[in-house]
Amino acid sequence: MSNRPPDSQDRARFSQQLDSAFEDASRLAGSSLAPAEFYEKLLTRALGAINAPAGAVWLRTPQGFLQVAAQQNLEKVGLDDKRGGRQCHNEVLRQVFQAAPPRPVMVEPQGRLGNGPVEPGGVPAANLTDYYALFAPIVGPEKQSLGLLEVFQESSHDPRMYQTFLQYTLQMAGYASQYHSFTGNRQNAGTEKAFTQVEAFARLIHTTLNPTECAYHIANEGRKLIEADRVCVGVRHGAKTTVEAVSGADVVEKASTHVRRLRALFDAVLKFNDKLVFQGTRDEALPPNVLSALDAYLAESQPKLLVVSPIRDEREKDSEKPARSALLVEVFNPPDQADALLQRVDVVGKHAASALYNAAELKRIPFKPLWWPVVKLQDGLGGKTKLYTLLGVLAALALIALMVFWPAPLKMDAKGQFMPEHVVQVYSPAARGTVEEVMVTPGQLRIKPGDAVVKLFDKGLAEQLGRLDGEIDAAQKEKTLLTARLQEVPKDSTVAADFSTRLAQADARENQAKKQKDDLVRRNKLIANESGYFLAVAPDFPPSAGGLREWANISGGDVREKLRSEVNGAQPLVRLGALDGPWRGDTKIPQRGIGHVNRAFATEGDHFMGVDPKGSGKPTKYLRVTVLFAGFETESFEGKLFENEVNIEAVPNKDDHNETEPVIQAFVRVDIPADRLEHFKKAGAEMRVKIHCGDRPLGYSLFHGVWEWFYEKVIFYF
């Protein structure tokens, strides 16, 4: 082109050239050419349509720098003719590339990019050539700068044409942007397809826990993913490896030479614990056993690429032990660059590791045939959710049936104390008194009849004793005086008769006072020589007691708390029980459980018959009980609760301040061996009692309290 204005024919021809260039660039943008080939063809077409002498395509590297992707005649435009020309050109590239937003730029010959100041020591952004420099950005889908299309144009054209050239350059750069977008989409589609294939492969190999089935899935489907000719799978069960699958083979002939050598190669590589890659030449650095197994296998099969990769699941914590599984991949016509294939082997191995590990672990489970019906049932139902739902329903039905139809003993809880059967209360022998000393300790055994139990003091008794002692002393003094006077007078005189009468009266008063004192001492158990002090003693056993000899202190609390307190003759001081007589459990049954006890006495089969313990000799109903003593929680004893030893009336539970429910008092006969009985003869030994009230449905035996509450609060309410 020249400086003369183009005529209409030239403009039409020029327009056709541009349209043809745009069509060619559009086809190139939609092609699957490699980037280098695409940019070479695009640049050639872009320069040829406008007869531009030179140009280049600059692309950003991963490090962020601009690098030439394609160029034509760049060395002929004179970038190096002037000092600093190349540096100034590079600065123009940098600023245009970093401009935001990206826009086309034209720099005139010997011109500068913009008129801004230049930093000291910096390089100006200038075009020191004799050509117009046209720059158009190549952008990505997100409008980010990917590179630049640079075109150098002669300066001899009509000045009005350069804006057309700039717009043309921008349009051609747009086709380069389209190429990047199409290429990215194709790559994403290929990646998505690969992900879909890998996902389908992973789902397939995890659908079974049979090692052989899982291995065949891995071998056949993995061969397609890897794009190999043959894939073999080996699984280590114990010390030796089993060849579970060979792609393309329906059955693995374990006795064949090929399979035996394949198994030996698997064993050697797993022991080596590293990947083996054979690409036509032997690696002499490999261990001798690996080389030997490799040579033996290569004598049977001659692949040009052989990979044996141990695959280890993340649950295999011991890295010193051989991996559980291994893959063998054979390719007879491998590509020149096998890196992508090796990467696919790693991907397949990573997904296969967990599936093979699960299958191998299942094979190790003992009694596996018992589990296979469950697996088949799960498959027949259509998955774990339905299986678990069915099992849950069956378990609930079984539990309900168990609760309704399975008989279980109904036991009522009660508490009690192990007490002697023959019990007495010790009272104050006087009408009143103050407790001065308790002479027995809590739980004391072997108290003889007549032994002092409590020492008391009564001021009134002390005053009575003092008065009687005064009367005795006055009578004695009067007797002494009258006796002396009587000796001084004649015996037959009237005075002597009077003295004798008075002496007899004084003697009568003395005897009367002594008799009253003796009676007072005897009646109130007064202590001699201790005025006002008297004793409460252990009583004698009645003749009907059958030779009992000793008492035990079974007072509920420490009677020493009564010290210095005043008591009357109706207040018990100490409770004593016959130590060497029969003992029984003084039990308190909660009122809410007495109905079950009475029902058991009234129901045939729930109670037993025994001899009346009260000595009547008549057959009497009784229930079995189990007794646990405090301090002996590891040993239980059997006992009997007789019907005639259960009180009818409920009384408040005075001994347990935390229990407000009334209780029914009953007596339990405990069967304790004679040689062990002495260990439990502790007054007031605590007992926990379970009363066996017959068999009831298991659910009622466990939750009868809940049912009774529901009946009382809900059903009875309506």
Q: Based on the domain organization, do 262 and 348 belong to the same domain?
A: yes
Structurally, the chain folds into a number of domains equal to: 4
Cα separation, 541 vs 604, whole angstroms: 41
What is the pLDDT, as a whole number, of residue 655? 58
Say which amino acid occupies 237.
H
pLDDT at 570 over 90: no
Residues 166 and 146 in one domain: yes
Segment 157-181 shows an average pLDDT of 86
In a domain, 408, yes or no: no
- Residue 7 pLDDT > 70: no
* 659 has pLDDT over 70: no
Sheet-wide strand order for 105-107: 66-72, 54-60, 145-153, 132-139, 105-107
Structure confidence at residue 1 as a pLDDT band (50, 70, 90): very low
Task: Decide which of 115 and 360 is more confident.
Answer: 360
Q: What is the CATH number of the domain that holds 361?
A: 3.30.450.40
Domain endpoint, select from 575, 593, 617: 575
Residue, of 465 and 244, whose pLDDT is higher: 244
More reliable by pLDDT, 465 or 449: 449
Instruction: Considering only residues 175 and 117, tell me which one the structure prediction assigns the higher pLDDT.
Output: 175
Q: Write down which residue in 575, 592, 619 finishes a domain.
A: 575
**Alpha-carbon distance 104 to 128, whole Å?**
19
pLDDT of residue 396: 94
- Tell me which residue of 401, 718, 449 sits closest to 580, measured CA to CA: 449
**Count helices and strands in the chain by DSSP H and E runs:** 15, 26
191 pLDDT higher than 70: no
- pLDDT at position 710 is 85
Residue 94, classified by CB atoms within 10 Å of its CB into exposed (0-12), middle (13-18) or buried (19+), is middle
**Residue 411 placed within a domain:** no
Q: Cis link prior to 652 (omega < 30° from 0)?
A: no
Q: Kindly give, in sequence order, each residue whose CB lies less than 8 Å from that of residue 667, ignoring residues fewer than 6 positions away.
A: 421, 584, 585, 586, 587, 641, 642, 645
Q: What is the pLDDT of residue 671?
A: 87
If asked whether residues 233 and 346 sit together in one domain, one would say yes
DSSP 447: B
Q: What does residue 523 show for φ and ψ, rounded to 5 degrees? A: -70, -35
3-state secondary structure 231-250: EEEEEEECCEEEEEEECCCC
pLDDT at 108 over 70: yes
> Within this chain, do residues 455 and 555 fall inside the same structural domain, yes or no?
yes
Q: Give the CA angle between residues 244, 246, 249 to the nearest 5°.
A: 115
Measured CA to CA, the distance from residue 699 to residue 404 in angstroms comes to: 6
Do 43 and 96 fall within a single domain?
yes
Residue 387 forms part of a structural domain: no
Return all residues near 373 (Cβ < 8 A) that are at least 6 apart. none
Question: What's the rounded Cα separation, in Å, for the pair 670 and 640?
Answer: 6
Helix axis angle for 161-205 and 339-364, nearest 10°, is: 20
Say if residue 527 is in the same domain as residue 598.
no
* Domain assignment of residue 400, yes or no: no
Give me the chain's average pLDDT, please.
83
For the segment 25-34, the average pLDDT, to the nearest whole number, is 82
* pLDDT above 90 (res 398): yes
381 occurs within a structural domain: no
Same domain, 236 and 310: yes
Under DSSP, is residue 285 helix (H, G, I), strand (E, B) or coil?
coil
Query: What pLDDT, on a 0 to 100 scale, did the predictor assign at position 10?
Result: 67
- pLDDT at residue 327 tops 80: yes
Pair (594, 570) in one structural domain: no
The pLDDT, as a whole number, for residue 556 is 66
Q: Which residue has 């069509």 as its token pair?
A: 23
Regarding whether 570 and 586 lie in a shared domain, the answer is no
The dihedrals phi and psi of 301, each to the nearest 5 degrees, come to -135, 145
Residue-wise pLDDT tens digits, 483-508: 888 787 787 778 778 878 888 888 88
Of 318, 339, 365, which residue constitutes the final position of a domain? 365
Q: Could you write out the DSSP letters of every residue in 34-88? A: -HHHHHHHHHHHHHHHTT-SEEEEEEE-TTS-EEEEEEESGGGS-TTTSTTHHHH
DSSP-based three-state secondary structure for 411: strand
Q: Could you tell me the CA-to-CA distances from 199 to 134, 217, 311 in Å, in that order?
A: 49, 13, 18
What would the mean pLDDT of 385-398 be, rounded to a whole number? 90
**Same domain? 520 vs 465:** yes
CA distances to 417, 600, 685 from 631, in Å = 13, 30, 9
* Cα–Cα dist 230/248, whole Å: 8
- Specify if 383 maps to a domain: no
Looking at the fold, whether 57 and 179 belong to one and the same domain comes out as: yes
Q: Which two tokens stand for residue 181?
A: 């977008």
Pick from 550, 519, 502: which is nearest to 681 by CA? 550
- Average pLDDT on 671-697 reads 81
Structural domain span for residue 157: 8-186
pLDDT at 187 over 60: no
**Cα angle 531, 537, 540; round to 5:** 140
Residue 504 included in any domain: yes
Same domain, 438 and 301: no
SS3 call for 397: helix
Higher pLDDT pick, 14 / 104: 104
In this structure, is residue 570 part of a structural domain? yes
Q: What is the Cβ-side half-sphere exposure of residue 369, based on CA atoms within 13 angstroms?
A: 0
Interval 507-556: pLDDT, tens = 888 888 888 877 777 776 666 666 777 778 888 887 776 677 788 887 76
